[in-house]
A and B are shown apart, each in its own frame.
Chain A
């Protein structure tokens, strides 16, 4: 069967992957279209504070009189940006480092593997806390620091894939044609082995969104950005009085992370169809 159509068909058969993909699509559309929607500016303080959900303010207003519905919608941008950029940085570093280590082997592999081990020992969240505490809550720093601390798991996955793929006959065949090592690694081995990294990247997007939300919840977020974590943090003292301020952004955060996790799990099944029968 054609690999592309095969992938699409298995994808269409996996409810988990489809649901996760649906959630991600929902948030992506939200993030792209939010500026065209007839909703108030999320930073305008023009409304009365602590208004409960109503037709005018579907998710109510917060303690400064900002529209929570608007905050939630605009907040999807920050959440997705954090997820995509952090996980993207992690994927790129992980793929290149893991692939190079596995393909070239020997001392290259030894050195890289030890570096990966060192990174795996670092408690990521606390490292990020320190960096943010020093450099201040800039969302770009946050994205970058998340990205450069979570790549080791991708590197390990990629390394394992390439290690088994490079023993396959087609690599010998390509070498016998005279195709160079660089080309074999990046044009043939990578596309064949990248599936688990993509799966892991989805899970890491979820993790990155949570880490950033966690930072904001601790008050270390970027104050210039409309952000779910910050909203939850700022609404927390008023939970008893106005439950909607923290709860609704929290629910959206949970939904996005759930969707990303399901997409990751679903893709895992789609990429490894053999595992399905054994359940």
Chain B
């Protein structure tokens, strides 16, 4: 294992902390054991683990939108689940509103009044046998909010703030009676009803039809602007991140490759992986963004030695194969982990 100091909070992250810091994730790790058969036990083979997240640290400030971007296996969704308490981290800690939560305290329900999550698949987010009202009523009851009489009005308000108007005509419906876009709005309403300070949105538009994505994106943007609700947006789509996010956290195979202000990171990425993601996005200037990463995302079980991205990186040299890169500062609140960071010149040819 690497020394924790390397991936500890960078000086940049600390300088952020005297602004209104909401959440700090520190050295978060989540390993899943791989079930071993009798043969493996007899052979006493090495204990195999899937390293879904492997030392991730970042901070989330109040009222900002953060994008967690990366491909499958990057650990972006697991990170979201861990903050929400849906997964227990192997190690690391989370500081939420200046309260440190240990591994044991990260369980569902502990932050559920302050942090809420919406999921990628709106069609499966609701119990198919319960009406929206039954779901809302259970949410409020579990949260201990409102009297029996208030709860219906609170639910109606949340639905209508999420754009399902008139809310009365939606609240008694079953999930199967709503479209994908309406379900995702209803899912956002289930979060709004408890007025969270942080919303974790896991690929909120990727399963929606193209013509209804804009509505959901603008809804998130408005909630952020008007309610000052911080959003941790998990996405693979950089154009969505460009539109919504103030900050980006680019992850690759369980570790952060680059993080910083969204516009700066996207316009002038320092990590080759960020550049590769940009180059793979549709309708970007192909003369500037011609950077194709080789091969496919590696395995979280047999992680490459040295920099995790080196097998796919055209700039990889011996040092990349041997040593994990350490954090380097590229600007205010902007850091990256690469031995051979990109400069503007390198990208152009």
Please encode chain A, from 1 to 21, with 1 for each CB lying within 8 Å of some chain B CB and 0 for all others.
111001000000000000000
A33 contacts chain B at the CB level, 8 A cutoff? no
Q: Give the interface size class of chain A.
A: 10 to 19
Among B120-128, B156-164, B219-227, B231-239, the stretch in contact with A: B120-128
Which 6 A-B residue pairs are closest in the complex by CB-CB distance? A178-B109, A169-B124, A178-B112, A175-B108, A169-B119, A177-B139
A174 contacts chain B at the CB level, 8 A cutoff? yes
CB pairs A–B below 8 angstroms (12 shown)? A1-B176, A1-B177, A3-B128, A172-B117, A172-B119, A174-B127, A177-B109, A178-B109, A179-B109, A188-B127, A188-B129, A192-B129
A168 to B112, CA, bound (A): 20
A173 to B187, CA, bound (A): 9
A277 contacts chain B at the CB level, 8 A cutoff? no
Q: Do A176 and B177 have beta carbons less than 8 Å apart?
A: no
Contacts of B143 in A (CB 8 A): 177-178
B173-231 with Cβ < 8 A to chain A = 173-174, 176-177, 187, 190
Q: Do A173 and B119 have beta carbons less than 8 Å apart?
A: yes
What is the chain B residue whose CB lies nearest that of A4? B174
Q: Is the interface of B mostly helix, strand, loop or mixed?
A: loop
Residue from A6, A176, A179, A192 within 8 A of B117 (CB atoms): A176
A3 to B175, CA, bound (A): 9
Within the complex, the shortest CB–CB distance from A12 to chain B, in Å, comes to: 19
Q: Do A176 and B85 have beta carbons less than 8 Å apart?
A: yes
Contacts of B121 in A (CB 8 A): 169
Please encode chain B, from 281 to 313, with 1 for each CB lying within 8 Å of some chain A CB and 0 for all others.
000000000000000000000000000000000
Interface residues of A (CB under 8 A from B): 1-3, 6, 168-170, 172-179, 188, 191-192
What is the chain B residue whose CB lies nearest that of A170? B127
Contacts A1-B176, A169-B120, A169-B121 given; indicate if A176 touches B84 (C-beta within 8 A): yes
A53 to B153, CA, bound (A): 69
Q: Do A170 and B129 have beta carbons less than 8 Å apart?
A: no
Q: Do A168 and B124 have beta carbons less than 8 Å apart?
A: yes
A2 to B187, CA, bound (A): 19
Contacts of A192 in B (CB 8 A): 127-129
A185 to B117, CA, bound (A): 21
Within the complex, the shortest CB–CB distance from B228 to chain A, in Å, comes to: 21
Contacts of B81 in A (CB 8 A): 172
What is the chain A residue whose CB lies nearest that of B113? A178
A126 to B242, CA, bound (A): 71
Q: Do B190 and A173 have beta carbons less than 8 Å apart?
A: yes
A160 to B174, CA, bound (A): 25
Q: Do A3 and B174 have beta carbons less than 8 Å apart?
A: yes
A176 to B202, CA, bound (A): 13
Please encode chain B, from 128 to 147, with 1 for each CB lying within 8 Å of some chain A CB and 0 for all others.
11100000001100110000
Within the complex, the shortest CB–CB distance from B79 to chain A, in Å, comes to: 15
Contacts of A170 in B (CB 8 A): 124-128
Contacts A3-B176, A176-B112, A178-B109 given; indicate if A169 touches B142 (C-beta within 8 A): no
